[in-house]
Amino acid sequence: TKVSAPFRLAIVGSGPAGFYTAHRLLKEWPNTTIDMFDSLPVPHGLVRFGVAPDHPEVKNVMSTFDRVAEDDRFRFLGNVTIGKNISIKELQNNFDAILLSYGASEDRKMGILGEDTYGVESARSFVGWYNGHPNYRNLQLPLDDTDTAVVVGQGNVALDIARILLSPIDQLRKTDITEYALETLSKSRIKHVHVVGRRGPVQVSFTSKELREQMALPGVQFNADMDYIKKEIAESQAIISKNRPLKRLMSLLEKGSPTKQADKSWTAQFLRSPVEVLKRADENRVKGIKYEINRLEGPLDQRKAVGTGEHESQECGVILTSIGYKSVPIEGIPFDTRQGRVPNKFGKIVQDDKELDGMYTSGWLKRGPTGVIVSTMTDAYETADTIVDDLKNGKPMLKPTHDDITELLRERHVQSVSYKDWKKIEAAEFDMGKKLGKPREKFSNVQDMLAVL
């Protein structure tokens, strides 16, 4: 019998979106080979560089990704940036199809006066810093020079940040948080963290598990205007009673936390939109933040924050903005700047409503930068199913003229990192971790990672 040539797919990005699409496709269309690229020598995207160090159970998905990578039909090429080392056009010359799953590598900005003052950082930088992302390891924040931090945003990432800032340092020592972050956090004087949102308590986007954990932090008192919270919850019963997760979340918020022996606190603050970062008189340093006070308008399930024209200022020395990530376009691929994603139908990339042969997307780049790993998985499976349908229906794919991208990499002196190489890097991280009594100590710069090989 004649063996037909395998379907050859390039995947750009090794986060959950890339891995789960690969997982499903290898199962549903066995005659497939996959080359997966990542700009970093180390895989797993935000599972490694986003998920909080004190949530190790969330990172168990890495073992699923390991199993995918062990498959003979799969190859990892880390340390290769698509759009820089290799262009989309070149990928199109080398593969039958391309899956773009490179996530969201920038931040949304507040767009206010003083945003570039020393002491203001994005969630992405701060989280990347404590998690050892090579781009953020040199972050500087005046944590030893103030007792108050403001976190702008009310999602799970905002709570991750508040929790890391307020957790007892000995609790963090047992996690895979980087040593340099531990060192800086151990000198931190932050005692009060304000988690600020522009709308009300019913509109927060964190979830019950994270809120419960926040309320239970030892030595940390919860503060909020409880009368306002109760009033909003009472007025929104029509939507809360129909939504079980929201109902659970609201009852946690309403309950607050018992009064503790606490010298630290976190505050949930509502109806505040930052309008200006206030600076010290003689220095480019944060002194506080100025808000416009909002009121809520519109139907219960679509509450909007509307400015009242009244303002309020608050003193703080650090401001961390957790208002969302942002995907960036890549040359040669359509991009919807308004929605911040690649236009697609069930994962197939479309341009002016026309499907592009052999071009697919999944994950945050496909949906916009929201959703947890499980929703990213569901979404990746949808894209894999679209690819399989196209293959079954004999839809046209790309028309490659070459079949080994490694030639091009060699020509350009790009040292790609295989999954076996990554496992060596990881083994070295486990070794360093063992000596420090933690699960792993991450390498936080690319030279150190490559030096292991």
The residues binding ligand FAD (CB under 6 A) are 12-18, 37-40, 45-47, 50-51, 55, 58, 81-83, 101-103, 105, 127, 157, 160, 325, 363-364, 371-373, 376
Complex with ligand FAD: residue 50 or 343, whichever CB lies closer? 50
Q: Which is nearer to ligand FAD, 20 or 222 (by Cβ)?
A: 20
Q: How many distinct helices (H) and strands (E) make up the chain?
A: 17, 18
Closest CB 53 distance from ligand FAD, rounded Å? 11
Q: Which CB, 294 or 386, lies closer to ligand FAD?
A: 386
User: Which residues have CB under 8 Å from 155's CB, separation 6+?
Assistant: 204, 205, 206, 322
Minimum Å gap between C-beta 380 and ligand FAD is 8
Q: Smaller CB distance to ligand FAD: residue 81 or 117?
A: 81
Residues 6+ apart with CB under 8 A from 101: 11, 12, 13, 15, 17, 18, 21, 361, 362, 363, 365, 366, 380
Of 12 and 359, nearer to ligand FAD (C-beta) is: 12
Q: How far is the CB of 236 from ligand FAD (least distance, A)?
A: 26
Distance CA(340)–CA(270), nearest Å, equals 26
Closer residue to ligand FAD in complex, CB, 163/198: 163
Nearer to ligand FAD by Cβ, of 356 and 446: the residue is: 446
Cβ at position 109, least distance to ligand FAD in Å? 16
State the helix-helix crossing angle for 156-166 and 123-130, rounded to 10 degrees. Answer: 50
Strands in 256-387 per DSSP E: 264-269, 272-279, 286-297, 304-315, 318-321, 325-326, 344-345, 348-351, 354-361
Number of alpha carbons in the 13 Å side-chain half-sphere of residue 109: 8
The token duo for 207 is: 């979830």
In whole angstroms, what separates CA 145 from the centre of its chain?
Answer: 28
CB of 282 to ligand FAD, least distance (A): 35
d(CA 278, CA 288): 5
